[in-house]
A = this chain, B = another copy of it.
Amino acid sequence: MPHSIDSFASLHQDRFLSELFDFIRIPSISTLPEHNGDVRRAAEFVAQSLRHAGLENVEIIETDRHPLIYADWLHAPGKPTVLCYGHYDVQPPDPLELWETPPFEPTLRNGNIYARGAVDDKGQMYMHVKAVETLMATRGTLPVNVKFLIEGEEEVGGASISKYVPENKAKLAADVALVSDTALYAEGIPTLCIGLRGLVYTEIEAWGPARDLHSGLYGGAAPNAIFGLVELLGRLKDAGGRIQIPGFYDTVRPPAPEEHESWRQLPFSEQEFLDHEVGSTALTGELQYHVLERVWARPTLEVHGIAGGFTGAGSKTVIPARATAKVSLRLVPDQDPVAVVDAFRAYVASVTPAGIRSEVRVLGTSPGLLVDPNHDAIRVAAGVFAEALGRPTVFTRSGGSIPIVGEFAHHLGIPTVLMGFGLPDDGLHSPNEKFKLDNYYTGIRTIARFLEQYGA
């Protein structure tokens, strides 16, 4: 009774959606300890879905924090092996008041699924599972060997998978990895991402006086932890967006001329980007570089959060004793995260004002990365993608970090096909995150076809 990929996927699309909704409803927020139970439930959901799809040796692997899930199907001798990766954890949904519908109650509106994790990465990871299920159901077998490795710590630095991969090289051996955690360049443009920025994520704490002081009695002589932190942070970048850490740009590899050329041909309007994606009065950063180069191929520094002193309603005249900020650096090839951390620590110490003590705590690191566009799997992926959307595939980069791609390159020696079906305005990490429903279905079919043709 074999069906074609398309007819099976069409016939079962309502079920594929309702299963995804059940998955999204689990608030698996990895950074908040009070959600540990939900993260565990999401892991079990993934394991059950893999079993249902026909995968074997399904394991929930305990770690120091959130479980990994492994599964495989290895009955295609002589065929390549594809390692499918995804993550089932999500970012916190705050600020809650800005969501139009509850973040963990997926809602269909304007042809989109609105929910935290809809596109990052539950919806996209689940496409892999449904693609395998579709192939098994229509052929009774798979065209390639397949391994799945799914994590629950992607949004919190991925410590457990970073430990697991180098310790299980033989188990994870594969020819290529497949990751769907990126976006199309624009609606309808088949896009393979071949470059990713790395990340050094830190928390900086600053201390001033031993205790909170009255600003009337001590203002003018006592150090202020917030102002000290502000002075310190203000010296991390200049007004032109250039990071001030000595030597920071020494190892930055500029994009190849062909990349520059291809980016110039992509549809891009700075005004539209400003008005509709960013929603502000001006773009910032290193204005001498094109926006795409700034977000894809230039390192950056951002402050993600800051807290200190009295922040309730009304006024309190206190000189605060401590303040903290979350600060990250995005890295590009060939910057070494370890060297960056060292230089960052030294620079922070050097710009810490008199009377202030500071500490840099590193919460996670990953290097930037480039994939060779001429690898077999990339070429096959580009072909099926072009066929699916009816126009040539473009090669882009992403400014985001997918640390696991670096781990696979480093420890398993394999490239990664970054075949994502999100859209640039999906609002990852923001209120009203969405995933276009059509792209969910297109993703399932395109991934099934990629596995089929890669095995041919």
- A interface residue numbers (CB < 8 A to B): 30-33, 91-92, 94-95, 98, 155-157, 197, 199, 201, 207-224, 226-227, 230-231, 233-235, 237, 239, 241, 273, 277-286, 291, 294-295, 298, 300, 302-320, 323-326, 328, 330, 353-357, 363-364, 398-401, 424, 427-432
Q: How far is the CB of A170 from chain B (nearest CB, A)?
A: 32
Which chain B residues lie closer than 8 Å to A314 at the CB level? Answer: 30-32, 156, 363
**Would you call B302 and A224 a contact (CB within 8 A)?**
yes
Complex contacts, A313 vs chain B, CB 8 Å: 31-33
Rounded to whole angstroms, the CA-CA distance of A110 and B314 in the bound complex is 34
Among B217, B355, B427, B431, the residue within 8 A (CB) of A400 is: B217
The reply to whether A399 and B311 form a contact with Cβ atoms under 8 Å apart is no
Whether A431 and B211, one on each chain, are in contact in the complex, defined by CB atoms closer than 8 angstroms, is yes
Q: Which of B209, B280, B295, B311 contacts A278 (CB 8 A)?
A: B209
B211:A279 contact, CB within 8 angstroms:
yes
In the complex, what distance in Å separates the CA atom of A208 from the CA atom of B215? 29
Please give, as numbers and ranges, the residues of chain B lying within 8 Å of A431 by CB-CB distance. 211-212
**CB contact under 8 A between A353 and B284, given known A156-B314, A303-B230, A307-B306:** yes
| Closest-CB distance, A398 to chain B (whole angstroms) | 7
13 contacts across the A-B interface (CB closer than 8 A): A32-B312, A199-B216, A213-B430, A216-B400, A220-B298, A221-B295, A222-B283, A222-B284, A280-B356, A303-B320, A304-B316, A305-B312, A306-B307
Contacts of A295 in B (CB 8 A): 217-221
Nearest CB on B from A402, distance (A): 9
CA distance A304 to B308 in the complex (A): 8
Having A219-B302, A302-B319, one finds 12 other A-B pairs with CB under 8 Å, namely: A33-B313, A216-B401, A220-B300, A224-B284, A230-B233, A230-B234, A231-B234, A305-B310, A305-B312, A306-B309, A311-B324, A314-B363
